[in-house]
Amino acid sequence: MTETQSAQDETGGHGTANERHAVRTPTPGPSSPAPTPAVADLRRVGINPDFWYPVSESRSVRKNSAFAASFAGERIALYRGGSGTVYALEDRCAHRQVPLSMGVVEGESLRCCYHAWAYRGNGRISQIPYLPKGVDRPPRGVRAYPVREAYGLVFVFPGDPEKAAETPFPELPAYASAKHSTMTFSRTVHCHYSFMHENLLDMNHQFLHRGVLGRIRPELLGYDTGPHSVEARYLFTPAGGKKDRGAGLLSAEGLGGSKSPDIVTIRTEYPYQTLQVVPEKAELPAFSLWVAYVPEDAEQRTNHVYGLLMIQKPPVPGALRLAWPLIRRFTERVFAEDRMAVESEQRAWDEQGSDWNQEVFPLILDVRKVLRSNGVPIRAKEDLCLAATLCGDASRSGPAPRSEADRRSPS
């Protein structure tokens, strides 16, 4: 197991007595060292925009239609042109700031619903119907985002567009595998995205799910941490109690259930998170989960969860299709309990005005460090407006960003 950071990474002035003592105790020597610098409250750290983030399901962006999405307070208009290509523009008309997501798609252009200004997929103004002769079109259009479509989701790159091509895109080979079927999740949760990472990574909260999973005894087998990731391995041993039938079917136990333990591996690889469950004596995971938590509002106290649950098909043809409703019900029940918990944590933070957590699990201290060190300051509203203005200028140069069909994923 990788050695974890000391408690000084998390106190912020509200830790336990032992944690506060750990921060302030000087090292032995003739003179006291410089004071330990204050650690940023993780709930005030923004997610790094220089990654690919899903902002919609593909099915929500219909051909010749527009769709309103968002990322951390930035409103984004998605639209699918006549060719089937998806584009992403800043969701405001440069004329009167009316949302472009309310507009009309014509070919590969998006026309504002108010005065019919038209925009190409690169954000440039292509037409102003009533523009007088001899008058030039305004030079500034709107920001265009790099966009890709894969795994039944629409991804945008909300950060520096010059970094988009070199930034790794999520690779999910199981999604296109004939041996797997994928269940997609898309839900809004009213909390900072960091609470979601902690919830999934800290499997000591299984008491919360006792009515769905029965009694589970989780044992941390070990974990590894680095600058950008934390990976934990647990042994899940059933300890009695009633278990939802969908849970057994998801773990390939069949209708009769099983008392065999599972190996659960959870990884935060910034900014995404994955989970795999391998039943005892099995070589391959019974299922794998990939999930992204995408902030919606500028203060990043609400996030949209996009999850892909890739389930291994059983040997019996059609068995998974019959079990699908039970598996869906089970996963929704677990998610509802987790959402209750993390939204309660956010409400406490809002009431207290800071992080009063008294964390004792070294694994969570480490993932907080990863999230904090890879995150960015949350931008003020005026900064978002300035960035939009500057990006509007930048949108006038360079080729139009186009979506890339991911041949590994079915349409």
Give residue 152's region: left, alpha or beta (phi > 0; psi -120 to 50). left
Q: Which helix (DSSP H) or strand (DSSP E) does residue 381 occupy?
A: helix 381-394
What tokens does 358 get? Answer: 């008294």
Cα separation, 230 vs 4, whole angstroms: 11
Q: Which helix (DSSP H) or strand (DSSP E) does residue 57 occupy?
A: strand 53-57
Cα separation, 239 vs 4, whole angstroms: 30
In total, the chain counts a number of residues equal to: 411
pLDDT in tens, 244-288: 556 666 755 543 345 678 899 999 999 999 999 988 777 788 899
Cα separation, 205 vs 252, whole angstroms: 23
DSSP 96: T
Report the pLDDT value the prediction gives residue 188, as an integer from 0 to 100. 97
Report the pLDDT value the prediction gives residue 384, as an integer from 0 to 100. 52
Burial 168-182 (b: 16+ CB within 10 A, else e): eebebebbbeeebbb
What tokens does 315 get? Answer: 């040997």
Longest CA pairwise span in the chain (Å): 81
Report the pLDDT value the prediction gives residue 400, as an integer from 0 to 100. 39
Single pTM value for the model: 0.82
The answer to whether 182 and 308 have CB atoms below 8 angstroms apart is: yes
Cα separation, 264 vs 363, whole angstroms: 15
Beta strands 180-189 and 153-156, pairing class: unpaired
Which positions of the chain have pLDDT values less than 50?
1-36, 254-257, 390-411
